[in-house]
Structure 1
Amino acid sequence: MQWVQRSVGLAIIGTASLGALLLWLAVAAGDPEAGEAPEEGVVLGVWQVFYDTAAPPPRVLLAAVGVALLLAAGVALFERRIATHARRSDDPGRMPLAPKVVMAETRGVYAGPVTITVLIPARNEEGCIAETLASLRAQSHPPERIIVVADNCTDRTVPLAREAGVEVLETVANTKKKAGGLNQALARVLPGMGDNDCVMVMDADTTLDAGFLAGAVRRLSDDRALMAVGGLFYGGEGAGLIGQFQRNEYTRYQRDLKRRRGRVFVLTGTASVFRARALKAVAEERGRNLPGIPGDVYDTVALTEDNELTIALKSLGALMISPAECTVVTEVMPTWRALWAQRLRWQRGALENLGAYGLRPSTFRYWAQQLGIGYGVIALGSYLTLIILMLIATDTWVWFPFWIGVGLVFTVERVVTVWRGGWRARLLGLSLFPELFYATFLNVVYVKGVWDLSWTGRPPGSMWCSPGTARGRRTADDRVGDHPSGEHAARGVHRRAVRIRRDQHHRLPHPGGGQDPAQGLRPRLVRHPQPARRDAQHRPRRPDLSAAPRSVSAGPATMRPGSETHVTGL
């Protein structure tokens, strides 16, 4: 399987290159017109200019527009067909989260009001944790519980969180960064949750809009088949020009989501709400229909855990949405170095996830998106190369009215799509060339991600791996994890992990962190907990964190009266 995953980037670039070649051959098949000398004119009676009115033949323009429309329509129609099939699926074994399956299983059952438990993975976030917690307290519908998942913090993150009156869970022997920390927290909170109990995962550097949770709760209450609600994220202020580049990018992305009526590309890691039922289903399917360790919600091998979890939920038929009323503000990368590291991680993670899942209905949109990016890299690179060659080969500046018109249309699109971002966003879009530079930067990141994955990539994760395995990666965007002994642990347990794969079925790592300190690197496994029953005779209780190890501390204001869900039969 390693060669399959490492060839994903090459397959995408190769397919995009083949498409570009076919387009070039189709254009070149016609008889080229003989070039004419540029005409000369005078502008405002002062400036002498040379211009050329040549333009592509109408048949070429019509063919290009027709192909683009057909491709866009084909992708949209196929995506809609996939979504419709998933929603109508009645196979609980293959798609346990399909709306039809969920509606049938919950018909006539009242699972109580929707409750929200917030998990905030944090590593040395003393500079922003207070503001994040304040935004949660200011919600028009405040959460029932707030838990800060502190991982290897060496600053004042933990005391600041306790002073704010929230629960703090400090991870134990975690070497798997953010995903590992969240898995430890979820192993504690999920067993006592029912169908209407939800978990919100949000970054420690994110500020919620005051109506975020109210909007999410309303959506989840109105549709019991809805499994997740994602946020629409916008970039925070500051960081100068590079910050504005990112704010423009995020504004366009949110505009695209709104035009799709909230249909999800990726459940953003900045802030997303999940039903406990959905997360339990993912944990149960790991190692069978989904990659990862059985019992883990997050795949600790994935570089981009939010993207991987989105694909996992879609593979199980989950219905998800990112509504316009659920908005968040997140930090932007302040330097080009940090932005490079972040985007390289995102791009490479997306390609690795496609390699892990392969070509299946739930990944069709992502494959099409990556093909579009690959073709865009070729198209923009070819355009810039042609401009440079023209500047070198000619000694006179020649204006082409047709292409100036195309550029004006493109400029208008750049401005309109960031209009809601304010005057700075519009001014940057109007300038055009700076954003072309930014697009070129992102294209270079894409090529670097393909190169790293194909020739210098790490060995991809298998369907089964040891709970003690660590990847030891460090990027500017990481918030949790990165234990110094991670890589050595990975080497030490690799052979042992192979031997235990046969008897790992239906088991999960130790809730305290995957390693028993008394047993060194030997993985400690326990039986997979059975999902809590929700009927009129049985009311599940929330886990008693006061009986947990000393790494868990409960603040005075973490549980509101009446936050337990009551289940009755209708």
Structure 2
Amino acid sequence: MQLVALVPAHDEQDRIVATLAGLYRQTRRPDRVVVLADNCTDATAEIAERCGAEVFVPVANRDKKAGALNQALEPLLTELADDALVLVQDADTVLAPDFVRTAAVALDDPEVGAVGGVFYGEQGGGPLGLLQRMEYQRYAHEIHRRGNEAVVLTGTGTLFRASVLREVRAARRAGLLGGGTGCYSLASLTEDDEITKAVKTLGHRTVSPDGCRLVTEVMTSVPALWHQRMRWQRGALENLRDYGRTPVTAYYFRQQFLLGLGTLALACFVLFAVLNLSVNGWQGAAPFWTAITLIFVVERAVTVRGAGPRAVLLAALLVPELLYDMFRQAVYVKSLIDLALRRQEHWYAT
């Protein structure tokens, strides 16, 4: 069966070579590799051509990644057979050599409509980069614990059946799904989260096998991380608002509820600790709560051991991750407030 890789890229001249090299190293190489040079002002297109990729330049695209993909997929889906496969991969990502082969095997199951990657953070970025790698390590563990069911068909790397993409596009054109008339929604800040819900709503399973590993960019500054997470969180909330409560979205509503509950619990804990210390001062360590804390620390350290010894040490310190969790919860609260006040969230290139 034919396999086509689409790599949307906006000013990725520093990363496109590594991305394409990862595709060329696949044990099941794509038959075609197409770089979507979207509003590029650098040498992304020229470098991609020199590396042997086809280059597609979207015309007057104002709809970011989703718009570029829709323009490229429109003619492509008229050419491909129903059993053809389409890989969509970000230009700041490198796939493990067995990614495509593993994903294609998973698609042998007729119930599976798309296969998402399990992403890990690239090296670098200092303590902030390490915290993100630890977060991604735990996310990979959670996917495995859920039987490799994909919560999100990550934009960093997902393999689709061509027939499923046609089905999504047809459902949008028939008004069964929102977001325009293309495969990807133009109304969503997080097109990968939205298309996951679209594929599942149409009755297909989405999976993320352990072998579908990839390494993606980490944010190296707090402002960049804030903009990235605001887009992810706000997009997820807006997608739930647009889809409403259905059998597909029930899990995602529960996930957001638990996130809110965790945010409230942490805020209450911090407030109680501050008030208690202010009124009563330090009363010494209670054996029971010390034991509970140690169990919690061990769990945090064990679940990030795949990220290396520095991750285990940082997790054992507890406080850095507590601050990181508070940062993520601040994103959640800000997103809820902005959604309630109908403030517009802007898309930032990160």
TM range (shorter): over 0.9
User: Residue 398 of structure 1: SS of its match in structure 2?
Assistant: coil
Work out which structure has the larger RCO, using CA pairs closer than 8 Å and 6 or more positions apart in sequence.
Answer: 1
User: Residue 248 of structure 2: SS of its match in structure 1?
Assistant: helix
The residue that corresponds to 1:347 in the other structure is 233
1:291 maps onto 2:178 in alignment: yes
Check conservation: 2:231, 2:347, Cα contact below 8 A. Answer: no
Residues 1:225 and 1:117: Cα distance change in structure 2 (over 3 Å) = same
Instruction: Find the aligned partners of 1:267 and 1:202 in 2 and give their Cα distance.
Output: 11
Instruction: Find the aligned partners of 1:456 and 1:261 in 2 and give their Cα distance.
Output: 37
The unaligned stretches of length 5 or more in structure 1 are 1-113, 459-470, 478-570
1:475 maps onto 2:336 in alignment: no
- 1:423-479 Cα shifts (integer Å, max 9, x gaps): 011111111111111101111111011111111423xxxxxxxxxxxx9x33143xx
Q: Summarize the alignment of residues 495-506 of structure 1 with structure 2, pairs less than 5 Å apart.
A: none
Q: Report the alpha carbon displacement of residue 137 of structure 1 after superposing the two structures with TM.
A: 0.6
The residue that corresponds to 1:393 in the other structure is 279
Match of 1:279, as an amino acid?
L
Q: Report the alpha carbon displacement of residue 226 of structure 1 after superposing the two structures with TM.
A: 2.2
Q: Report the alpha carbon displacement of residue 141 of structure 1 after superposing the two structures with TM.
A: 1.1
Match of 1:140, as an amino acid?
T
Residues 1:399 and 1:440: Cα distance change in structure 2 (over 3 Å) = same
Q: Summarize the alignment of residues 247-286 of structure 1 with structure 2, pairs less than 5 Å apart.
A: 247-286=133-172
Q: Report the alpha carbon displacement of residue 216 of structure 1 after superposing the two structures with TM.
A: 1.4
Instruction: Find the aligned partners of 1:134 and 1:173 in 2 and give their Cα distance.
Output: 29
CA radius of gyration, larger in:
1
Q: Summarize the alignment of residues 340-489 of structure 1 with structure 2, pairs less than 5 Å apart.
A: 340-458=226-344, 473-477=346-350
1:135 maps onto 2:8 in alignment: no
The residue that corresponds to 2:39 in the other structure is 152
Instruction: Find the aligned partners of 2:111 and 2:280 in 1 and give their Cα distance.
Output: 63
The residue that corresponds to 1:21 in the other structure is none
Quick one: which of 112, 118, 126 aligns to 1:226? Answer: 112
Match of 2:296, as an amino acid?
F
Instruction: Find the aligned partners of 1:236 and 1:201 in 2 and give their Cα distance.
Output: 19
Quick one: which of 318, 322, 331 aligns to 2:208? Answer: 322
Q: Summarize the alignment of residues 41-80 of structure 1 with structure 2, pairs less than 5 Å apart.
A: none
Q: Report the alpha carbon displacement of residue 320 of structure 1 after superposing the two structures with TM.
A: 1.7
The residue that corresponds to 1:461 in the other structure is none
Q: Report the alpha carbon displacement of residue 206 of structure 1 after superposing the two structures with TM.
A: 0.2
The residue that corresponds to 1:201 in the other structure is 88
The residue that corresponds to 1:485 in the other structure is none
The residue that corresponds to 2:60 in the other structure is 173
User: Residue 18 of structure 2: SS of its match in structure 1?
Assistant: helix
The unaligned stretches of length 5 or more in structure 2 are none
Residues 1:396 and 1:176: Cα distance change in structure 2 (over 3 Å) = closer
Residues 1:416 and 1:163: Cα distance change in structure 2 (over 3 Å) = same
Instruction: Find the aligned partners of 1:267 and 1:396 in 2 and give their Cα distance.
Output: 48
The residue that corresponds to 2:221 in the other structure is 335
- 1:370-401 Cα shifts (integer Å, max 9, x gaps): 00000000001110111111121123433222
Q: Report the alpha carbon displacement of residue 218 of structure 1 after superposing the two structures with TM.
A: 2.1
The answer to which structure has the higher helix fraction is 2
Quick one: which of 67, 75, 99 aligns to 1:212? Answer: 99
- 1:138-158 Cα shifts (integer Å, max 9, x gaps): 111110110001111010001
How many percent identity over aligned positions?
45
- 1:154-194 Cα shifts (integer Å, max 9, x gaps): 10001001111111000101111110000000001011112
User: Residue 183 of structure 2: SS of its match in structure 1?
Assistant: coil
Q: Report the alpha carbon displacement of residue 219 of structure 1 after superposing the two structures with TM.
A: 2.2
Instruction: Find the aligned partners of 2:111 and 2:255 in 1 and give their Cα distance.
Output: 27
Match of 1:189, as an amino acid?
L
Instruction: Find the aligned partners of 1:284 and 1:176 in 2 and give their Cα distance.
Output: 20
The residue that corresponds to 1:501 in the other structure is none
| TM-score (ref. length: structure 1) | 0.60
Instruction: Find the aligned partners of 1:247 and 1:299 in 2 and give their Cα distance.
Output: 29
Instruction: Find the aligned partners of 1:412 and 1:261 in 2 and give their Cα distance.
Output: 24
Check conservation: 2:189, 2:347, Cα contact below 8 A. Answer: no
The residue that corresponds to 1:44 in the other structure is none
Which aligned segments of 4 or more residues in structure 1 are displaced greater than 6 angstroms? none
